[in-house]
Amino acid sequence: MKKDFYEAIEKRRTFYGISKEAVVSDDRIKEVIEHAVKHTPSAFNSQSTRIVLLLGDKHDKLWSITKESLRKIVPEDKFESTEEKINSFASGYGTILYFEDMSVVEDLQKQFALYKDNFPIWSQQSSGMHQFVIWTSLEIEGFGASLQHYNELIKEDVKKEWDIPNNWKLIAQMPFGKPVVNPDEKQYKPLEDRIRIIK
């Protein structure tokens, strides 16, 4: 499936209604992620972003971990809606975990002390670019996805479950699957309030 770059950006939306039906092969998903990780820019060419792709029962396990972590802190009378949300993520085909390798960031802080305070910020910016590129690429392939941030709740269990290095910092989770519910129409703030052109 080929799409114009601008169309792909426009069509990339947040999809909560997703299913486990395969849209493309697992090998194709791997190719998409590898292409994004190889070609997405990073400050000082640090290449600090790390990706874990969870498929099948490993994807289900992530959202089981998340649900049980939330059960410990969400009041019982409010848990039903929380459970429904987590189940909607688990209903997808897979989940991409985004990490940043903090040892890379720390090494750069030592090498370039003048920019020490900026490297963690630039690391987050690079992660955001990877998220956008992969998210948009998944849309091109026919998947719908959303971006979640249960980092503090699940990071230790995730590292233990899948033997993730301690220096990898969990940044985001991206559940994806075949879209079964279209998102609501997006509302846009006036562009004249958001862009200035100075000549």
pLDDT tens per residue, range 84-125: 999 999 999 999 999 999 999 999 999 999 999 999 999 999
> Spelled out in words, what is the top-level CATH class assigned to the domain 8-181?
alpha beta
Residue 68 neighbours by CB under 8 Å, 6+ apart = none
Residue keyed to tokens 């390798």 = 101
Closest CA to 153 of 87, 70, 39: 70
Decide if pLDDT at 1 tops 60.
Answer: no
pLDDT, residue 188, reads 96
| 154, 82 contact by CB (below 8 A) | no
What does the mean pLDDT of the chain come to? 97
pLDDT tens per residue, range 74-90: 999 999 999 999 999 99
Distance of CA 124 to the CA centre of its chain: 12
Q: Is 135 helix (H, G, I), strand (E, B) or coil?
A: helix
Q: What is the average per-residue pLDDT within 1-14?
A: 86
pLDDT tier, 182 (very low <50, low <70, confident <90, very high otherwise)? very high
pLDDT tens per residue, range 32-69: 999 999 999 999 999 999 999 999 999 999 999 999 99
pLDDT, residue 11, reads 93
Decide if pLDDT at 3 tops 80.
Answer: no
Residue keyed to tokens 């972003």 = 49
Residue 87 neighbours by CB under 8 Å, 6+ apart = 63, 67
pLDDT, residue 2, reads 59
C-alpha–C-alpha distance, residues 181 and 34, integer Å: 28
Sequence length of the chain is 199
| 163, 52 contact by CB (below 8 A) | no
What is the percent of the chain where pLDDT is above 90?
97
Q: What is the average per-residue pLDDT within 127-136?
A: 98
Q: What is the average per-residue pLDDT within 135-152?
A: 97
Cβ neighbours around 158 below 10 Å, total: 23
Q: What is the average per-residue pLDDT within 161-178?
A: 98
